[in-house]
Structure 1
Amino acid sequence: MDNYQLESELQHLERVLKNISAEHRFPLSYWRTRLNAVMAARLVPSQQVRARKLDGQLRALETRAPEVG
């Protein structure tokens, strides 16, 4: 992923994760996969901070999510 794609993805994830709940129409696993792809990329320090913050937000949602199955 190039820097432009990383920035776009981080911005999108920041908007989405700020506004979703554990019962969102897309499963949290979808957002986890997208965030993990960002976190696996070569990030500059400011992007690493943002990705870690998103990871914390998503973990909080995952913790509150109802059990499936």
Structure 2
Amino acid sequence: MKQLLEILGFIALVQGVAGLVHEFTDWDWGFVQRLDVLDGYEVYASVALLVLGCALLAAAESRASR
């Protein structure tokens, strides 16, 4: 379970960073900008992914201490 949380947290962090990098530099990589439903809300979705990634990594760390 700990490894799954770490993997999901890492993926969320990378996708959040990729979305912000895409918005501010126009590099074409990441998943957030490819979703049409998020059109106009890419920055908010990227920040939400960053927060989710941090929360998942914190949850994985707390599972390790048990």
Q: TM-score, normalised by structure 2?
A: 0.42
Q: Which has the larger radius of gyration?
A: 2
TM-score of the two chains, using structure 1 as the length reference: 0.41
